[in-house]
Amino acid sequence: MFPELITFSIYGHTFAIYFYGVFLLLAIILGILILYLELRRHQLETRHILDNVFWIILLGLVGARLGYVLLYWSFFISQPWEIVKFWQGGVVFSGGLVVGTATAVLWLWTRERRQLWGWLDAAMISVSFGHAVGMLGSFFSGLDIGRATSLPWGVNFFIRGEDIIRHPTQIYEFLAYLSVGVILFILSQWRLKGTRGVFTFSGAGFFLGLSLIALTRFFIEFVRVPAKIFFTLGTVDITSAHFSSLILLICGIIGLSWRVQKDYTNNIPLINRKDNKKMNEEKITELKGKLENKKQILKNQLSKIAKKDKNLKDDYDAQFENFDGEVMDISNEATEVSNYQNKLSLEATLELQLRDVRKALDRIKQGKYGQCEKCGKDIKPERLEALPHAGVCLDCSSKNS
């Protein structure tokens, strides 16, 4: 097809911009945008999204490229400088998905554990749409081509001077991944509305998307020119992609079963199906319990601070009352100031948190829990799960910050 979009020369050196590289960049930008919008819709953490996504994408690309290098090890071992030229094509999606997911899980597990499944569900939607765009780059570059066919929609890629009509497997995958993205988006909408179902609990989108993508890749591999044949069953070639897709499919099915068993039986949506604006009494009771526990913890912490160093303020005032007329050791002065200021800062932070918890408990008594104090709209269920004391919706919180 047309692997090079633009070719130009600078001081005698020829440079090229590849179709694959352009569509890869578009896929990344689209994926980040969709991820950001999905996280916003579900009122999940977005403040550090660019920092986190940068590492997830970078390590994902490294994993995808390494998967390709391992498939064609005999070529790359003789020309190792070709390993870094990923913009010319040559990545294995399953490798990138595994490494990228592992990176995301590791970060979320250490920083935002409560939002792990919400993040992964949103990420799978962005991956599906982004991968669909990436397949257009493969189509225009003549990569991942299909086997010969006589079907009317076959395409001649004119690769290496061949005049062969082939399956447009890139378009098959483009349509399949686009469909997966749409399905996952619809399930996400149902979850926001509080609809209860097998695929509407948190984590279902990720594992369902993983299963559908693996299933798509498994079947399309039968009409695709194989990268590496492991063995042949009759006239059917079993390739490395079949094995990797099968592993991902099994992981997806096991993950779905696990999440169903773990969460679905207790998956009472925050919003009643009959009345989307009325909070379920059972869920309010559960959140009230969380708030009461948080309130007691904060009180205990403030009590400990009050007992510890109770004379710190008096000592501080006495030492600095006649500061101008006294000669004091600078290091001691700095230590006293630092200790006192740290104590005040921590105390103020805990007081603010306690105030927010008390206000949330008051809103429960008044029957206004779950409504934004600023705009009056309903606060999304996912935000209340992560922050039971939240008094404003994500939009109003972002405006204030």
Whether 342 and 231 map to the same domain: the answer is no
- What is the distance of C-alpha 127 from the center of its chain? 9
How far, CA to CA in Å, does 44 sit from each of 104, 152, 153, 303, 400? 15, 47, 43, 32, 17
Whether 261 and 234 map to the same domain: the answer is yes
Residue 118: CB atoms within 10 Å: 26
CATH number for the domain spanning 326: value is 1.20.120.910
Whether 323 and 362 map to the same domain: the answer is yes
Instruction: Answer whether residue 275 is part of any domain.
Output: no
Strands 4-10 and 236-239: unpaired
Asked which of 233, 266, 299 is the last residue of a domain, the reply is 266
* Structure-token pair, residue 46: 């977005």
Whether 34 and 128 map to the same domain: the answer is yes
pTM above the 0.85 mark? no
Instruction: Answer whether residue 252 is part of any domain.
Output: yes
Q: Which of 170, 175, 178, 176 is CA-nearest to residue 145?
A: 170
Instruction: Answer whether residue 149 is part of any domain.
Output: yes
- What is the distance of C-alpha 312 from the center of its chain? 46
Instruction: Answer whether residue 354 is part of any domain.
Output: yes
Whether 20 and 150 map to the same domain: the answer is yes
Whether 151 and 40 map to the same domain: the answer is yes
**d(C-alpha 232, C-alpha 7), whole Å:** 42
Instruction: Answer whether residue 163 is part of any domain.
Output: yes
Whether 63 and 193 map to the same domain: the answer is yes
**d(C-alpha 319, C-alpha 317), whole Å:** 6
Length of the chain as a residue count: 401
Q: How many independent structural domains does the chain possess?
A: 2
**d(C-alpha 164, C-alpha 148), whole Å:** 6
Q: Which of 211, 122, 225, 139 is CA-nearest to residue 175?
A: 139
Q: In the chain, what are the helix, strand and coil shares in percent, each to the nearest 5?
A: 65, 10, 25
Whether 245 and 363 map to the same domain: the answer is no
Residues 39 and 119 sit within 8 Å (Cβ to Cβ)? yes
Instruction: Answer whether residue 276 is part of any domain.
Output: no
Residue ranges of E strands in 324-374: none
Strands 13-18 and 4-10: antiparallel
Q: Which of 137, 262, 275 is CA-nearest to residue 201?
A: 262
How far, CA to CA in Å, does 80 sit from each of 58, 76, 77, 153? 20, 5, 6, 38
Instruction: Answer whether residue 273 is part of any domain.
Output: no
Asked which of 266, 300, 333 is the last residue of a domain, the reply is 266
Q: Is 390 exposed, middle or buried (0-12, 13-18, 19+ CB in 10 A)?
A: buried
Domain that holds residue 299: 281-400
Q: Which of 173, 220, 174, 159 is CA-nearest to residue 1?
A: 159
Q: Is 134 exposed, middle or buried (0-12, 13-18, 19+ CB in 10 A)?
A: buried
Whether 170 and 258 map to the same domain: the answer is yes
Whether 185 and 256 map to the same domain: the answer is yes
Residues 124 and 39 sit within 8 Å (Cβ to Cβ)? no
Instruction: Give me the phi and psi of 238, to 5 degrees please.
Output: -100, 120
Instruction: Answer whether residue 366 is part of any domain.
Output: yes
Asked which of 238, 266, 294 is the last residue of a domain, the reply is 266
What does the pLDDT profile of the chain (401 residues) look like in tens digits? Answer: 566 667 777 777 777 777 778 888 898 889 888 988 888 887 776 766 666 777 777 777 787 778 777 777 777 777 777 777 665 556 676 677 777 777 777 776 776 666 778 888 988 999 899 989 988 888 888 888 889 999 999 988 877 677 889 999 999 999 999 999 999 999 888 877 766 666 777 788 899 999 999 999 999 989 988 777 777 777 788 887 888 889 889 999 998 888 777 654 444 444 433 343 445 666 777 778 888 888 888 888 777 776 655 554 455 444 444 444 444 444 444 455 556 666 667 777 778 888 888 888 887 777 777 778 777 777 777 777 777 788 888 777 777 65
Whether 15 and 103 map to the same domain: the answer is yes
Whether 186 and 303 map to the same domain: the answer is no
